[in-house]
């Protein structure tokens, strides 16, 4: 058995199909001076054609899967518009008198060298996007084609490769109907039937991993040397929940994994059937299961998965996928579409949360030693006041079409909250002066991600209507550990006593003051995490739409007595290991079948 990095949950048992690196360098063709202009035109034609292909792919992915996944290909499209990238290739053709194929490979080598010196794992994985774009250009130049045998395969296979590019992942379809909730059936009827994906490179934050999860394909990465050990036709059993891979397993392992595969599919199918039921505990108490979304398509899918509303609309993806600054009208229409996609449901719109790993070209960049704890998110408002006024005006205008709340991220101090309230009031006054009708109230909330805000929550509650907890950032800031750094990521476990005691403090304060509090982030979709949080008084969760069915099933098995007992026990424990072990045992008592799902949740 081999242990890799689990990046997409699920079980697969199938034959292997090995894909070699598509970017095989050929001998360079040295051109005569008279041929250079024609070669540049050939390259420019490839850029135009690939750009059109990417536009069409992004539109299709947006309709069939979601805008977050479509943003991957919109970002690829932006690379083709980057004068630095295009200029590098043209310069190589002219200055070295080589063909476009060689120039593209040389450009890729330059980027690879540059990215190899970047310590941030998330940014290093963006090299896969550059390789993807260059692969598309090379394919158009007819220098190689995708593996024909895989295209013609009728039997679902487990793809084994050094790396899977986003465009390759998009051509894959799951062998079973286990899909992210809301992904239409027709989206998997055409394409290459894939049971699973195993790669040497790539992590959970890579774009291919995001697409694998969206398409419901189990995936494991980080298995260095696997392409030398596995051959096409070898029998593979894999577990994308734990990262386990068996090569040519014996009959006992094969039988066990086939049973797990059937159970996983059956449980996933049965959970989808609860989409029209309310999330109520055994005592009859209603729990709000909301969704994190990036677009109107996401919002519609979330409701079809059973979510009761939108707990977090991340507006930054509208900006990241846009080649220029979206103006007020564009933003207004985008926000209105999300609101109308969730009729009669609350939609919480978070203002722009840029910085760290999310950048746009029209904001001035400053090199920072630690960008995640630097000049980012709400801290940018003082430098770009009109930019944020435009966003607030667009949100307030769109609010007339539904139940809207405004959420400000990464709050640290009371001064920030008071300043933001004044900023929001200025936006309101400017709209009223322009003759806009603002009859609908728009509640004002803050995101608790910084420990300072969590500790002083009592002071902040005087100024706000509601609170959302960003568990991902709060965990890493509380533990002083970058969750994307493999050397310290183990400190970012949600079972930390410090984190649970901090959450208990925030929840208790909000409950005492009758202020709604919602938990966002990965913890919201993990059954073990919610057991103690329910006992602490948390009644609102916002998560990836894919986790709504399983969390609804858990809620229906909970009682207040059990929840409070679990919370009391956990708050007395002193280590993360002790808490994790206890919650794992307890969740299996309450819901025995939960172990079939991703227990890392």
Active site residues: 207, 520
DSSP helix/strand/coil, 24: coil
Task: Spell out the alpha helix ranges (H) of 239-304.
Answer: 251-272, 296-304
DSSP helix/strand/coil, 345: coil
Distance, CA of 101 to CA of 107 (rounded, Å): 10
Rounded to 10°, the helix 100-116/36-64 angle is: 60
CA distances from 454 to 58, 187, 303, 502 (A): 39, 43, 31, 7
Triad 366, 370, 376: Cα angle to 5°: 60
What are the backbone dihedrals phi and psi of residue 8, each rounded to the nearest 5 degrees, phi first?
Answer: -150, 120
Task: Spell out the alpha helix ranges (H) of 33-99.
Answer: 36-64, 67-81, 83-96
Residue 40's CB is within 10 A of a number of other CB atoms, namely 16
Contact 169, 76 (CB under 8 A): no
Q: Which two tokens stand for residue 157?
A: 């296979």
Element (H, E) at 570: helix 560-572
List CB contacts of 74: < 8 A, sequence separation 6 or more.
Answer: 54, 58, 321
Token pair 């963006």: residue = 126
Nearest one of 364, 13, 67, 2 to 214, comparing CA atoms: 67
Triad 118, 122, 128: Cα angle to 5°: 90
DSSP string, 524-538: GG-HHHHHHHHHHT-
């Amino acid at each position: 058995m081999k242990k890799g990095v689990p990046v997409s949950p699920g079980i697969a048992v199938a034959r292997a199909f090995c894909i070699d690196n598509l970017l095989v360098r050929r001998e360079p063709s040295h051109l005569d001076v008279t041929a250079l202009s024609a070669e540049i035109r050939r390259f420019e034609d490839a850029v135009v054609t690939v750009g059109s292909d990417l536009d069409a792919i992004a539109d299709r992915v947006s309709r069939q899967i979601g805008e977050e996944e479509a943003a991957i290909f919109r970002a690829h499209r932006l690379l083709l518009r980057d004068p630095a990238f295009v200029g590098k290739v043209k310069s190589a053709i002219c200055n070295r008198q080589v063909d476009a194929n060689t120039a593209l490979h040389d450009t890729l080598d330059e980027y690879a060298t540059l990215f190899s010196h970047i310590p941030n794992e998330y940014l290093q994985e963006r090299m896969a996007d550059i390789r993807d774009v260059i692969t598309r250009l090379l394919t158009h130049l007819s220098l190689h084609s995708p593996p024909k045998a895989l295209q013609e395969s009728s039997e679902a296979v487990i793809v084994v490769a050094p790396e899977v590019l986003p465009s390759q992942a998009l051509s894959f379809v799951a062998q079973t109907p286990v899909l992210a909730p809301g992904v239409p059936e027709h989206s998997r009827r055409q394409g290459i039937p894939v049971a699973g994906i195993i790669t040497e490179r790539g992590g959970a934050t890579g774009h291919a991993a995001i697409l694998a999860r969206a398409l419901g394909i189990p995936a494991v990465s980080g298995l260095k040397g696997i392409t030398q050990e596995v051959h096409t036709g070898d029998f593979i059993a894999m577990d994308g929940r734990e990262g386990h891979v068996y090569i040519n397993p014996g009959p006992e392992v094969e039988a066990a994994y086939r049973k797990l595969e059937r159970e996983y599919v059956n449980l996933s199918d049965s959970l989808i059937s609860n989409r029209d039921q309310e999330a109520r505990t055994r005592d009859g108490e209603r729990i709000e299961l909301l969704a994190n979304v990036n677009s109107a398509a996401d919002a519609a899918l979330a409701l079809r998965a059973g979510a009761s509303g939108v707990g977090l609309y991340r507006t930054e993806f509208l900006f990241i996928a846009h080649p220029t600054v979206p103006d007020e009208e564009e933003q207004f229409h985008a926000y209105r579409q999300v609101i109308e996609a969730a009729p009669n449901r609350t939609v919480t719109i978070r203002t722009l949360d840029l910085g760290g790993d999310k950048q746009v070209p029209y904001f001035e960049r400053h090199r920072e030693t630690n960008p995640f704890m630097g000049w980012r998110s709400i801290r940018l408002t003082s430098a770009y006041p009109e930019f944020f006024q435009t966003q607030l005006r667009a949100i307030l205008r769109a609010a007339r079409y539904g139940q809207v709340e405004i959420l400000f991220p990464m709050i640290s101090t009371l001064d920030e909250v008071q300043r933001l309230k004044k900023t929001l009031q200025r936006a309101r006054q400017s709209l009223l002066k322009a003759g806009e009708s603002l009859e609908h109230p728009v509640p004002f909330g803050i995101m608790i991600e910084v420990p300072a805000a969590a500790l002083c929550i009592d002071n902040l509650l005087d100024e706000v209507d509601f609170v959302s907890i960003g568990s991902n950032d709060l965990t890493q800031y509380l533990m002083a550990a970058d969750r994307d750094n493999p050397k310290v990521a183990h400190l970012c476990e949600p079972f930390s006593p410090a984190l649970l005691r901090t959450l208990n403090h925030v929840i208790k304060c909000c409950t005492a003051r009758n202020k709604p509090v919602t938990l966002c982030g990965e913890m919201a979709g993990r059954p073990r995490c919610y057991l103690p949080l329910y006992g602490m008084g948390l009644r609102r969760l916002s998560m990836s739409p894919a986790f709504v069915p399983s969390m609804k099933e858990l809620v229906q098995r909970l009682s207040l007595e059990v929840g409070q007992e679990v919370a009391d026990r956990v708050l007395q424990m002193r280590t993360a290991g002790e808490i994790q072990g206890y919650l794992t045992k307890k969740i299996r008592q309450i819901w025995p079948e939960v172990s079939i799902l991703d227990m890392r949740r």
